[in-house]
Amino acid sequence: MAPSSRRPSWDDYYLELASIIATRSTCLRRHVGAVIVKNRRILSSGYNGALSGMKHCEETGCLRDRLSIPSGERQEICRGLHAEQNAILQAAQYGIAIEGSALYCTHQPCIICSKMCIAVGIKRISF
């Protein structure tokens, strides 16, 4: 195999980065990572978990588990944010324009995160 053929495609590269970012997740149910990219430059990243400064679910336990709430339901009870939300908020906090960008995520975004991506001008989502 020629050395150049071992290089991952840009999509594969960013999806792999999202997988690495997901390892920082503090969620007990699922580890998700997201990367926002524009013109092959990484603008922001995020993983799912409790808000900065709050106790993590690793410390407090998962309220949704205690209440036997199935995955994907009653998300408002969760103390954490989704990876996509954290990546968007991180960009906003530091004044990084993400309009026209692409989002790479380890899992398919939920409908709320999909709407947020559209609202902020993310043009492409890969998972």
Q: Which residue is listed with tokens 């590269």? A: 13
Give the helix/strand (H/E) hosting 35.
strand 33-38
Q: Is 110 annotated as a binding residue?
A: yes
Q: Is 82 annotated as a binding residue?
A: yes
Backbone angles phi, psi at 111, to 5 degrees: -65, -35
* Overall fold of domain 3-48+82-126: Cytidine Deaminase; domain 2 (3.40.140)
User: Which tokens sit at 119?
Assistant: 């609202």
Structural domain spans, the chain: 3-48+82-126
**Catalytic annotation, residues:** 84
User: Which tens digits make up the pLDDT trace of 49-72?
Assistant: 998 888 988 899 988 889 999 887
Beta bridge partners of 33: 47
pLDDT by 10s per residue, the chain, length 127: 455 678 999 999 999 999 999 999 999 999 999 999 999 999 999 999 998 888 988 899 988 889 999 887 888 888 899 999 999 999 999 999 999 999 999 999 999 999 999 999 999 999 9
What's this model's pTM, rounded to 2 decimal places? 0.89
Axis-axis angle for helices 111-119, 83-93 (nearest 10): 30
